[in-house]
Structure 1
C-alpha cells in the first residue's frame, strides 16, 4: 500500500481523539491517516521572523505530522487575506464581503509555493498526495514545477460558486487552470461538481470526456463526488465514554420537563446563525403556549476574530440573543443559552443525545458533519429530529431530515413546531433512514473511495507536458 501524504492549511490532528471538536476536517483526516503509513503536512499556527522551510515532525495519536511555521506577513496575506477575505466569502456566495487585494493574491501564491518547496523533498516515488481545501489550490502546480510526478489529488470541502460569481474574482481563470495540475479533483456533492464543470466548459471552453474527466488548458483532470462522513465507531465510543455519559446526564437534568434544541457551529456568517435565532424568535411569537417548555443551546466557538466580518457578526449575535432573552425569558426560564466556547467531542455527543431537536441551518455549506454527528448521537428508541438547511451539502443525502429554507423565518418556525410535535414512530422511522446514511458514508468509505479513484486516475491527467506546466503566470 502506498504512503498517503495529506496537505492542509492547518495540522489539527488531536492528541486525544475524544477531545476533537465538532465535525470538521480534523477528525476525518485523523481517522483516514491511521489506516495508512501516512504524513500530514500543514501550517503549525505559529509565526517566525524569517521563513526557514524546515518542518517540525511530531506524532499525534498515531498520526505523523510535519509542521511549518510562517511569517506574519504570510499569515496576514495568505490566511487572513486571500483565504478568508477573498475565497471563503466568494465560495459561499457572499460577494458583498469579498475583498480583492493584489497583496492577498501575492501572499497566497507565495505560501503555496513555500508549502510545495517544503513538501517536495519529503515525497517518495510511490507516495499519493492528497491536498485539502481552498487554502492550497495552486500547490500542485508548484509541485509539478519542482519535478514531482506523483499522483496528486485535491478535495474541496466548501461549495464551489456559480460561474457568474466566480468571474468576479481577479485572475479566476488562473486559479482554475492551476487545478488542472491535479490528477483528481473531488467535491462533496453533484451540485458543486456541476458548477465546477459549468465554469470549465462555459468560461474556459473546456470539454467533458464522458468518463468523469475534463479537458482544458491543454491538460486533463479526473473529477468525482465523494461525500465525506464521520468516524462513526469513534464517535459512538466518545458518546458512550464516561465524560459523554456524564455530559448527557447533566444536560438531561438541565432540560427536565422541557425540550432542548441544539445548534453547534463555528462563528461564521455562512452558518445562518442570525437567521436561526430570528426563526426561533418567530416560533416563540407564533406559539406562546410553548414558552417555558423549550430552549435553544447554541454552541458557537469564536473563529477568525482578526477578520472584520467575523467581529461584526459576533456583535450582532450577542445583541440578538440578548434581545430574545430579554423579551421572552421568565424568572425560571431562558429561551437561549448562547455559548462562545469550544467543547470536546465526547461532551458534544452527550449534548446532542439530550437534544430533542438538532438545528443545522447554514446558508451555504460544503457538507456539514454536525448533522451526521447529531443523528449518530441519538437514542434509537426515542430519537430527536434533525432540522437541516436545504443549502447544506448534507441535504443531498439526508432527505429524511426536515429540510428548510434558512432564509425564511416562518418556514423555520413551522419546522420547529413540527419537530416538537412529531410522533415517536415517525421520529424512529426518520432516524433509522438517516442513521443508515451516516453509516453508509462513514469516513472510511469516503477515504477509500477517494484514494482508489486517485490511484485509478489516468496518468495523462497530471499534465506531463513541461510546457504546459510553465505556461501559467506565477502571480495570483
Structure 2
C-alpha cells in the first residue's frame, strides 16, 4: 500500500466483470488486471458463465483461494443479444466514436437489461453490509440502477475501461437519455482520463434531475456521486522481472536488425489498418542501404461473430500480403502478422527485445501495452514508444513519440525517427516515462479508487480536485 494510504474497510470486495478466468489467467487486458488486484485484496469475482440453453438466477461457485470466483448464468439467446448485440454492436462502437458501425435491435437492449437485472439480483443475495461492489466496464451499466431498486445501499463503484462517448455520439443511442441516470446510481464512476471526465460531465448535464455540487461532485434525487479519473496501471515490477528473465526468443532475424512490435486484440479501434499503411509508407521511403527492420504485429482475434471484426481481419490479411509482396526480399520479410495468443513470458521478452513499440489506437481507454513496453525495457538501452494521441495512456506518457494514427506520413516519419534515435535521447525519454508506470501501478490504481469509493476522509477534496470544471 502506498505511503499515506488509509486502511481498507472490513467488508469484502465484490468485483463484477463479463469475463473472469475459468482456468489459467490470460495475459494482459482487464481480466489480468482484476486478477492482479484481487490476488492482493481477496474477495469475490463474479463473471458470466459459458452460454447454455437456459439461464436461472443465482451464482455458481467455480473456485476458491486468495479470492473466490462465481458465475452467473447466461443463455445462448442472451449471449447473442446482451453480449454480441447490445454490448459489442452498440455500446462498444458508440463509446469508441464509431456511430457508423452501430447495429440496434430492440431485442438486444431487452437482453442487455435482462442480464443486468439478473446480475443485480445475484449480487443482492450475497452482498453483506459493509461489502464494496466494484463493477467493471460497459457490460453492466444498468446493474447499479437495479441494485438500488432492490434496496441495496452498499457502496457501488463503476470503472469504465474504454473511452467515453461525447454528447453528439450519445444522440445515436436510443437509450441515450437514460444513460446519465444509470451512471448516477453509482457512488463513484471511475474513468481513465481527464478527457473522459469532461465527456461524462457533459453527458450528465443532459439529465435535468442531476445537479453539480460546489465540491465538484454530483447529486440526483438526493443521491450524491462522483466522477473522477483513475488511470489504470500494471504490476510494473512484476512485468519487468518477467521480461528480464524471459526465455530465449524464437525469432529468426539478425540480432542487429531493428524489431518493431505491435500487440493488440484484433479490433477496429486499434488502428491496425492505419498502422500497416504507415509502415508501408515508411518502407517506400526508407534508404535502400539503411536498416531492414521487421515489424511483428500480434493481434489475436476476438468477437469474430460480429461482422465488423470479420471485416477488419480480412483487411489486415490483404494488407499484410500486399506489403510483403511489394517490399520483401529473399532474406527479409518486413511484416510478420500473428493472429493468435502468445505466452505472457514470451510476450514480455518480445517487449524487451523490441527497438520500437507501435501503440497507435484510433480510440482507447488506456492501453496497457504501452505501459508493459515501458516496464519491460532495459534501463541502459531502452526502446522507443510510439504512442497515439487517442490512447488514454498519452495523458501520462507524454515523453513517448506522440502521433496522429490517421496521418500515415507522420507515422512513417515517427518510425524512421525511432529506429535512428540516439541512445542519449532514448535514455532521456525512458527516464521520464518510467515513474509514470512504476509509481502509478495496479496497486496505486486499486487503492486510489477504493479509498474514494469507500468514503474515506478527503473524498470531497478529491472530487473538487479531479472532477472536470
TM-score w.r.t. the length of structure 1 is 0.91
Q: Which position in structure 1 is the counterpart of 2:145?
A: 141
1:255 to partner: Cα distance:
4.0
Aligned twin of 1:41: 46
- Unmatched tracts of structure 2, length 5 or more: 1-9, 461-469
1:292 positional shift: 6.3
Q: Is the 8 A contact 1:188 1:227 kept in 2?
A: yes
The answer (yes or no) to whether the contact 2:33–2:234 under 8 Å persists in 1 is: yes
Deviation of 1:235 after TM superposition, in Å, equals 1.4
* Bigger shift: residues 193-202 or 105-114: 193-202
CA distance in 2, matches of 1:337, 1:111: 40
The C-alpha deviation readout for 1:409-442, integer Å capped at 9, x for no partner, is 0110010011111110110111111111101210
Per the TM alignment, residue 130 of structure 1 is displaced from its structure 2 partner at its CA by 0.2
Q: Which residue of 2 aligns with 1:470?
A: none
RMSD of the TM alignment (CA)?
Answer: 1.9
Residues 290, 96 of structure 1: alpha-carbon distance in 2 compared, 3 angstrom cutoff: farther
Task: Tell me the CA shift for residue 175 of structure 1.
Answer: 2.3
- Match among 212, 216, 224 for residue 216 of structure 2: 212
Match of 2:407 in 1: 408
Aligned length: 450
- In the alignment, the residues of structure 2 paired with residue 446 and residue 13 of structure 1 have an alpha-carbon distance, to the nearest angstrom, of 25
Partner SS state of residue 18, structure 2: strand
Shift of the alpha carbon at 1:116?
1.1
Instruction: Note the C-alpha offset of 1:280.
Output: 0.4
Contact 1:14-1:60 within 8 A present in 2 as well: no
1:234 aligns with 2:238: yes
TM-fit CA distance, 1:211: 2.3
In structure 1, the residue corresponding to 2:248 is in which secondary structure?
A: helix
Q: Does 1:195 align with 2:194?
A: no
- C-alpha spacing 1:316/1:231, structure 2 compared with 1 (3 Å): same
**1:123 corresponds to which residue?**
127
* Bigger share in helix: 1
Offset at residue 69 of structure 1 (A) = 2.7
Deviates most, 98-107 or 54-63: 54-63
What CA deviation, in whole Å up to 9, does each residue of 1:84-104 have, x standing for no partner?
000000000101101121111
Secondary structure class of the residue paired with 1:254: coil
Q: State the TM-score, normalized to the length of structure 2.
A: 0.92
- Could you say if the C-alpha distance between residues 134 and 235 of structure 1 is closer, same or farther in structure 2, counting changes exceeding 3 Å? same
Q: What's the counterpart of residue 469 of structure 1?
A: none
Instruction: Report if the CA contact (8 A) 1:222-1:457 is conserved.
Output: no
Contact 1:51/1:70 (<8 A) preserved: yes
Shift of 1:287: 1.1
For 1:217 and 1:155, locate their aligned partners in 2 and report how far apart those are by CA, in whole Å: 22
Partner of 1:467: none
Query: CA–CA distance in 2 between the matches of 1:406 and 1:375?
Result: 20
Deviation of 1:164 after TM superposition, in Å, equals 1.0
Secondary structure in 2 aligned to 1:6? strand
Aligned partners of 1:275 and 1:407 also within 8 Å? yes
Q: Does 2:32 correspond to 1:32?
A: no
Give the gaps of 5 or more residues in structure 1. Answer: 462-476
**Contact 2:230 / 2:449 at 8 angstroms: preserved in 1?**
yes
Partner of 2:95: 91
The corresponding residue for 1:336 is 335
Task: Find out whether 1:21 has 2:21 as its counterpart.
Answer: no
1:261-280 pair list within 5 angstroms = 261-280=260-279
Deviation at 1:148, TM superposition (A): 1.2
Question: Of the candidates 15, 28, 32, which is equivalent to residue 6 of structure 1?
Answer: 15
Report the Cα offset of residue 290 of structure 1: 6.1
CA, structure 1 residues 30+198, in 2 after alignment: closer, same or farther (shift >3 Å)?
same
CA, structure 1 residues 87+290, in 2 after alignment: closer, same or farther (shift >3 Å)? farther
- d(CA) in 2 for partners of 1:134 and 1:176? 13
Q: Provide, for residues 91-149 of structure 1, a one-character-per-residue CA deviation record: whole Å limited to 9, x for no partner.
A: 00101101121111111100000111122111111100000100001001111122211
Structure 1 distance, partners of 2:82, 2:216, is 32
1:79 aligns with 2:79: no
Q: Distance in 2 between matches of 1:97 and 1:84?
A: 10
Q: Per-residue deviation at 1:381?
A: 0.9
